[in-house]
């Protein structure tokens, strides 16, 4: 079994060989490593993408808007991912972003997972009928683990989820009252022992 470090290094060098800068290649290596860490087919899809990259003129989207409609060519997942990383602090204000025609969306997904960590918010992603929840780059929840991931997503929808409690105030108050049963009431002897306890006056 290949180590994550070996995966990252090899992907980085292969990406450089495909014409990406060392800086971008390093980001690709990190992203594919992340996919493999979460048991997603990163190596498989980056291999397939690099086999196609010379045959297809993938569109490079550098400026992210609320709605992004590609031309006939699908968006390059790497340039798209780098653009998201660079602009995430700004584009999270859109709340929801739409993209059409994204090539190899699972590669793009890994960049989005890292974006989730940067902004400290969960990100909900829909690639056509597939739904994925990215949780601060700690885990990835999806309804399509047992399905083959597509090489193209016709419609992509990205939502930024505001942080909030998953419980009601009443549920919290009830639990907090229960926790109060463990509080120890401070007695007189405890107070006396706490003030200068263990000190000896040798004068």
Give the whole-angstrom CA distance, residue 197 versus residue 148. 67
Q: How many CA atoms lie within 13 A of 158 on its CB side?
A: 30
Q: How many CA atoms lie within 13 A of 31 on its CB side?
A: 28
Query: Which pLDDT does position 106 carry in this prediction?
Result: 94
Q: Which residue has the tokens 């009830």?
A: 174
Q: What is the dihedral of CA 10, 143, 91, 61, to 10 degrees?
A: 50
Query: CA 18 → CA 22, 56, 155, 158, distances in Å?
Result: 11, 14, 27, 29
Q: What is the pLDDT along the chain (203 residues), one digit of tens a residue?
A: 899 999 999 999 999 999 999 999 999 999 999 999 998 999 999 999 999 987 888 999 999 999 999 877 899 999 999 999 999 999 999 989 999 999 999 999 999 999 999 999 999 999 998 999 999 999 888 766 667 888 999 999 999 999 999 899 999 999 999 998 888 765 555 566 655 555 555 55
b/e per residue 112-136 (b: at least 16 CB within 10 A): bbbbbeeeebbbbbebeebebbbee
With vertex at residue 101, the alpha carbon angle to CA 100 and CA 107, rounded to the nearest 5 degrees, is 110
Q: What is the 3-state secondary structure (H, E, C) of 55-117?
A: CCCCECCCCCCCEECCCCCCECHHHHHHHHHHHHHHHHHHCEEEEEEEECHHHHHHHHHHHHH
Helices (H) and strands (E) in the chain, counts: 7, 6
Other beta carbons within 10 angstroms of residue 180's beta carbon come to: 7
Query: Which pLDDT does position 29 carry in this prediction?
Result: 97
Give the whole-angstrom CA distance, residue 100 versus residue 65. 12
The secondary element (H helix, E strand) that includes residue 142 is strand 139-142
């Amino acid at each position: 079994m290949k180590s994550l470090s070996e995966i990252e290094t090899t992907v980085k060098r292969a990406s450089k060989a495909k014409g990406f800068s060392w800086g971008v290649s390093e980001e690709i290596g990190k992203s594919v490593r992340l996919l493999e860490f979460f048991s997603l087919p990163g190596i498989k899809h980056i291999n397939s993408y690099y086999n196609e990259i010379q045959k297809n003129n993938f569109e490079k989207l550098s400026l992210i808007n609320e709605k992004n409609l590609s031309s006939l060519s699908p968006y390059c997942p790497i340039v798209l991912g780098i653009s998201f990383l660079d602009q995430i602090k700004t584009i999270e204000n859109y709340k929801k972003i739409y993209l059409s025609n994204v090539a190899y969306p699972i590669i793009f997904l890994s960049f989005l997972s890292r974006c989730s960590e940067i902004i400290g918010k969960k990100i909900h992603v829909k690639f056509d009928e597939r739904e994925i929840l990215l949780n601060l780059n700690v885990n990835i929840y999806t309804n399509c683990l047992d399905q083959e991931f597509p090489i193209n997503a016709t419609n992509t929808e990205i939502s930024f989820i505001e942080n909030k409690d998953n419980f009601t105030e009443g549920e919290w108050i009830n639990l907090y009252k229960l926790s109060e049963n463990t509080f120890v009431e401070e007695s007189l002897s405890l107070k006396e022992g706490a003030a200068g306890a263990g000190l000896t006056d040798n004068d």
